[in-house]
Structure formats: C-alpha cells, structure tokens
Amino acid sequence: MIHNLLKVRHFIPDDHVNTIYDININYLKSEGKTILLFDIDNTIIPYDIDLPDDKIQSYFDNLKNAGFQIVLISNNHKSRIKPFSEALGLPYVFSAKKPLKSGFKKALKRLDEKPNKQSITLVGDQLMTDVFGGKRFGIDVVLVKPIKQKTEKWYTKINRIVERKMLKRIQKRFPETYDTLNLHTR
Ligand SMILES: [Mg+2]
C-alpha cells in the first residue's frame, strides 16, 4: 500500500480540536502566529451548506480584529469556493491540490508580504490533504474533526480509509502523541 511509503511524522498535527471554535487563538498568538490558512469543506462548513452564517462571519471578523491575516485554501472548485470566500470578505485559493505545495504557495501570494513559515498555521479536517500538505510545506497544522462525513465525496471517502490506517500507524509508532492529541476521538 502507498501509505507504507509515507513518513508517519508528516501526518501528525500540532494540535487536534473538535471545531474551529475550540482553537486556542491566544496560544497561537503567543507562539507568534499571524497568518491562518483555513480549509473550508468539513472544517468551516459541511458539503451541503453553501454560505457562511452569522456565527462563522463573526468568528472570522474576530480573528481579523485580533490581527490575523487569513486565507481560505480548498481543493474544491471555484463555483463553491468563490461565493463562500467573498461572503466572508477573505482571500482564497480554489482547486488547491493539497497535499501538493503549489496551492500553499498560491495562498501566500494572497498576502501583502512574503511571510515567515513559522508565523503560519493551517486549520483543516483531513490527515491526507491538510496535515500531510501543511507539514510537507513546513507549517503548523491544527486538525479539526470533520463536521459531517456522510455528505463527503467519493475521493474524500477514500482519503478517510487511508486516514484511519495512518491513525493506527501513529498510534503504534507515537503512542504518547496519539494520546495527547486525543486522536482516538476521531
Ligand atoms: Mg476539508
């Protein structure tokens, strides 16, 4: 299987939380993070929702007011990502091809200045695209639990199967990290 070729450490997030609302923003600030990249599908909204509600709007307004620069980065297509991002007034990258690096590079071009990678955290719900992509690119990743897996597309369902195998490998190789991050709750 292909997952045997992949290094386990590239699939270990820096933190694991239930939802975006559980991210410790003050901690990220204290760690010098100023740029947040967010996945969209099943991280901010489930697949069967198109536009942000008031709760999402105020969450991102608060982040902006707290001084964070935000870019949305999604593998989904333009017709879904553009209206969602524009409703929030946030820059975005669609068809990002995570875990490849090209989408991350595009996301950084949406910023005013070229940032230091240590100042960036990616927030996403998938081990195989978000965590793997972010770690390969050299940035921190906060993994959230997927909002609703039922409505995921076929290729994401395949990613989830590989994800479960990878979680078992993490548990075997890095049991303490697995426990600390509560990865058994996924
Ligand atoms: Mg996602």
- Residue 44 CA to ligand 1 center (angstroms) comes to 8
- Residue 133 CA to ligand 1 center (angstroms) comes to 12
Task: Please tell me the distance from the alpha carbon of residue 120 to that of residue 37, in angstroms, as a whole number.
Answer: 7
- Residue 26 CA to ligand 1 center (angstroms) comes to 24
Domains and CATH numbers, the chain: 2-112+124-185 (3.40.50.1000)
What's the pLDDT at 83? 98
Q: What is the pLDDT of residues 72-130, one digit of tens each?
A: 999 999 999 999 999 999 999 999 999 999 999 999 999 989 999 999 999 999 999 99
- Residue 41 CA to ligand 1 center (angstroms) comes to 4
Could you give the angle at the alpha carbon of 112 between the alpha carbons of 107 and 113, nearest 5°? 90
What's the pLDDT at 38? 98
pTM confidence score: 0.94
Q: What are φ and ψ of residue 46, in 5° steps? A: -75, 165
- Residue 104 CA to ligand 1 center (angstroms) comes to 15
Side-chain half-sphere exposure of 119, counting CA atoms within 13 A: 12
